[in-house]
């Protein structure tokens, strides 16, 4: 049974947790409001991903060792508490730069724990024959959260300011925390044998190629998450969240209509289309002049995301033993976080030196490079 009570409950929890995270797509506005530059946006947004990258081996081991559900609870607790700490930051950015970096790092750890544990939990409870569909449909709640979070965040910032914005993010994360508390554990490690290390799993050819593709995907996501809102603001567009609405809506529709394709014809045949569509989105932003272009860009990248994320995730996990799924999910999600970290810094400096158009050109090209890697290297189970 795909849509079990546990599946539906943790999907609802994921919706609220990701909505809280999605609010922070508007966080660059807080940075610029306190005197930050494009480079500052890149560094501060990258700090969020840095913790995910550095802690990924430990997080992946924890998910396999103490359980998916327990790990997810820890992640939700962090996601609930951390938005409150942003209330402490007042005045010019330079006055609280380093403490803000530390908070962003801790916040990133919480999200990394949540994502690694929750996708491993779902992989445990969905039928093997519907793995791609299950991962994709579960991800719908996160995509909707990624759309609703920025809309709520933008509205609150305009009407009430950043203090209520941060309180709202904590409120959404709290609901996610409470919803998942009654869930049973999906896997308990009982073997006394030492499982393979995170790095031995990472060095397998299949996992290394998936990590590389996830890295390039994350590099492009850094542009979506960190630079769309200040770019649209620079262009004097009134409804910045329109991009995220179309992005998430396209990804959701893609999964609703094509969720079973990966299980039927194989993830390997779909991934090239996902890379291409996701890459076209930021290239369209080079020509941003109004809301229509913003919406079309979000639509294209969202379609690509809708195919690419579950296909890469399912390909990584399929036919792998349950006791190392946390490490496998860690390699995959760690690749995305590494890409976001590197992309935030590099794209921030590209934007500072050459402007937003060059920034989004670089983001789009990264996905097309991924297409070339996939075509020439492929992915197998070795």
Domain enclosing residue 211, as ranges? 5-184+198-377
Residue 267 lies in a domain: yes
- Supply 146's token pair: 């990624």
Instruction: Give exposure, 92-126, as e/b (b: 16+ Cβ within 10 Å).
Output: ebeebeeebeebbbebbbbbbbbbbbbbbbbbbbb
Nearest-angstrom CA–CA distance, 178 and 63: 20
Residue 193 lies in a domain: no
Residue 34 lies in a domain: yes
DSSP 347-373: HHHHHHHH-HHHHHHHHHHHHHHHHHH
Helix (H, G, I), strand (E, B) or coil at 183: coil
**Closest to 9 (Cα-Cα) out of 79, 66, 76:** 76
Give the predicted TM-score (pTM) of the model.
0.79
Helix (H, G, I), strand (E, B) or coil at 190: coil
Residue 192 lies in a domain: no
Residue 98 lies in a domain: yes
Number of domains in the chain: 1
- Supply 52's token pair: 């995910």
- Tokens 């991924």 belong to residue: 370
CATH code assigned at 289: 1.20.1250.20
* In contact, 199 and 330? CB cutoff 8 Å: no
**Closest to 179 (Cα-Cα) out of 361, 354, 8, 318:** 8
Residue 382 lies in a domain: no
Distance of CA 354 to the CA centre of its chain: 26
Q: pLDDT tens digits for the chain (382 residues)? A: 788 999 999 999 999 999 999 898 888 889 999 998 878 888 888 888 788 788 888 998 899 888 899 999 999 999 999 999 999 999 899 999 999 999 999 999 999 899 899 999 998 999 888 888 888 889 889 888 887 888 898 899 989 999 999 999 999 999 999 999 999 998 876 665 667 888 888 888 888 999 999 999 999 988 987 788 888 888 888 777 788 889 888 988 888 887 777 788 878 889 999 999 999 999 999 999 888 999 999 999 999 998 998 899 888 888 888 888 888 988 998 899 889 888 888 998 899 899 999 999 999 999 988 888 887 766 654 4
Rg from Cα positions in the chain: 19
Residue 236 lies in a domain: yes
Instruction: Give exposure, 129-146, as e/b (b: 16+ Cβ within 10 Å).
Output: ebbbbbbbbbbbbbbbbb
Residue 190 lies in a domain: no
Residues counted in the chain:
382
């Amino acid at each position: 049974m795909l849509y079990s009570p546990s599946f539906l409950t943790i999907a609802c929890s994921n919706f609220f947790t990701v909505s809280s995270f999605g609010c922070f797509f508007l966080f660059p506005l807080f940075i610029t409001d306190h005197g930050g530059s494009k480079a500052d946006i890149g560094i501060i947004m990258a700090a969020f991903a840095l913790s995910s990258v550095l802690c990924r081996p430990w997080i992946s081991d924890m998910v396999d060792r103490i359980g998916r559900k327990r790990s997810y609870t820890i992640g939700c607790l962090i996601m609930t508490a951390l938005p409150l700490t942003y209330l402490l930051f007042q005045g010019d950015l330079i006055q609280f730069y380093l403490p803000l970096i530390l908070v962003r790092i801790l916040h990133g750890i919480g999200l990394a724990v949540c994502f690694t544990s929750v996708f491993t939990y779902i992989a445990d409870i969905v039928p093997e024959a519907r793995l791609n569909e299950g991962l994709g449909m579960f991800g719908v709640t996160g995509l909707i959260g990624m759309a609703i979070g920025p809309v709520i965040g933008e509205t609150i910032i305009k009407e009430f300011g950043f203090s209520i914005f941060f309180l709202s993010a904590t409120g959404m994360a709290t609901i996610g925390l409470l919803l998942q508390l009654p869930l049973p554990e999906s896997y308990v490690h009982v073997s006394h044998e030492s499982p393979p290390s995170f790095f031995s799993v990472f060095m397998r050819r299949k996992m290394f190629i998936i990590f590389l593709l996830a890295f390039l995907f994350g590099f492009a996501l850094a542009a979506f998450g960190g630079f769309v809102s200040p770019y649209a603001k620079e262009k004097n567009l009134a409804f910045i969240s329109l991009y995220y609405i179309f992005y998430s809506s396209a990804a959701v529709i893609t999964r609703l209509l094509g969720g079973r394709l990966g299980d039927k014809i194989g993830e390997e045949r779909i991934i090239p289309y996902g890379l291409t569509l996701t890459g076209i989105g930021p290239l369209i932003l080079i020509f941003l002049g109004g809301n229509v272009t913003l919406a079309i860009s979000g639509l294209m990248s969202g379609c690509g995301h809708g195919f690419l994320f579950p296909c890469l995730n399912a390909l990584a996990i399929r036919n792998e033993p349950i006791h190392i799924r946390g490490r496998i999910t860690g390699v995959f999600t760690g690749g995305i976080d590494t890409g976001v970290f590197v992309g935030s810094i590099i794209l921030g400096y590209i934007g500072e030196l050459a402007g937003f158009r060059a920034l989004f050109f670089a983001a789009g090209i990264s996905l097309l490079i991924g297409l070339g890697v996939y075509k020439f290297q492929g992915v197998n189970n070795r």
